[in-house]
Amino acid sequence: MHLTNQVLATSEVFVDFIKNYPSQTPVVMLNILKFKEKTDDGVETGEAAYNRYGRNVAPLLAKVGGKAIWAGNVQRTLIGDLTTEPDRVLIVFYPSKEAFIEMATSEAYAKISHDRERALEYGGLIVTESINF
């Protein structure tokens, strides 16, 4: 897994999600995060900037009915690419794609999203839908 220079969705990918993900279907987002050692201005660590983003995004998630389900710092990889690994994995629930879009395109989110961008070397976001085994 190449964990660099992927932090924002392209407009094509975002538009495809809007058009083609089923409406009013719950969404669980898997975040795969690799922090910058230092933010570009050198003021703080990427982890510190991301932690601030996390605290500030929590009320926006709640406002649309979303919530962080689980987060964990990666300790080691047993199976997979051993040369590069993420620093943290985060799972976030949204009641629908519409809730995610509402939050992600809100003015309030625009005011805090810079911390996510400045914090991450890689910020993979994988859209999943729950299944039953």
71-114, pLDDT tens digit by residue? 999 999 899 887 889 999 999 999 999 999 999 999 999 999 99
Residue 4 within any structural domain of the chain: no
Q: Which of 100, 102, 80, 104 minimizes the C-alpha distance to 32?
A: 80
Per residue in 35-75, pLDDT (tens digit) is 999 999 999 999 999 999 999 999 999 999 999 999 999 99
Instruction: Return the CATH number at 17.
Output: 3.30.70.100
Sheet holding 88-94, edge to edge: 67-73, 88-94, 27-35, 120-128
Q: Say how far apart CA 59 and CA 61 lie, in whole Å.
A: 5
* Domain enclosing residue 46, as ranges: 11-128
Q: Say how far apart CA 54 and CA 48 lie, in whole Å.
A: 10
